[in-house]
Structure 1
């Protein structure tokens, strides 16, 4: 008894492998989620305000740049000392924001920035009351996808 299996020629096999690869790639591209990419920076300033008036009080500025390919909405901004810390100084109300701040919630189109201005002395006082002396704080922004984006730390 002689069993002979015919696998066809090599070109048919490579064609089948290519077809399976193309279907797998197209399924992966169709089902992947777009990545949410939000860049948050925290800086301090003194002097010229949003409307070009001068002011001697220091302020903190949170700039959040939407690097995603789709619009995102800022749902909450605030301050924390660690990404895993549950104690946060959350700002979800417009009355705590300084002149020149965007609204909360704020829709941010791709490659646009939302800006939030705070009185630095008030934020540092609240941070020291919440977490103690000699701390470093970071800003955070939470979008409507419930993802939280953080800035680098600054000394409070």
Structure 2
């Protein structure tokens, strides 16, 4: 018994066209998913203040700037500091640590807008050094309403 199967792959241009169509669908799905991601850019930095009379306030402040880089409004529900090596974190639950002019928790941020949380650096470091020794590297974080954490770069206390 002799079985002969002829397979016709069509021409090369039809195959390339099919591959291109599949590639276009994959890219469009990836772009659609990318636009819907919830993303904050978190920056932890030292700042100085200005008084109402435009004089410089020499008190050092620590600022967490969270920029909503997604296309939808997001709500920040939690702000804090974490050491990713040991997993310990300090959540800012006491609004008294925040100076006047800072955003309060929870705070809604529109698309591509900034939420700023400013702390008195000396008071905050005293509180953080109860959990971590001086010279430890920490990160600031914000948690959005979906439960996702967004982190800053390392900062040495």
d(CA) in 1 for partners of 2:6, 2:70: 53
TM-score of the superposed pair, with normalisation by structure 2: 0.76
d(CA) in 2 for partners of 1:113, 1:46: 18
Partners of 1:128 and 1:135 within 8 A in 2: no
SS in 1 for 2:117: strand
**Correspondences of 1:103-114 after superposition (within 5 Å):** 103-114=104-115
The alignment of Structure 1 onto Structure 2 pairs a total of residues equal to: 155
Residue aligning to 2:43: 41
SS in 2 for 1:92: coil
d(CA) in 2 for partners of 1:154, 1:50: 30
Q: Which string of whole-angstrom CA distances, capped at 9 and with x for unpartnered residues, describes residues 31-87 of structure 1?
A: 84622221111111234158957534221111011111222111101122x235432
d(CA) in 1 for partners of 2:52, 2:124: 19
d(CA) in 1 for partners of 2:48, 2:27: 52
Partners of 1:50 and 1:99 within 8 A in 2: no
Partners of 2:70 and 2:111 within 8 A in 1: yes
Partners of 2:138 and 2:156 within 8 A in 1: yes
Q: 1:54 to 1:70 in 2, by over 3 A?
A: same
d(CA) in 1 for partners of 2:18, 2:152: 46
d(CA) in 2 for partners of 1:85, 1:10: 60
Deviation at 1:28, TM superposition (A): 3.8
d(CA) in 2 for partners of 1:50, 1:42: 24
In structure 2, the gaps of 5 or more residues are none
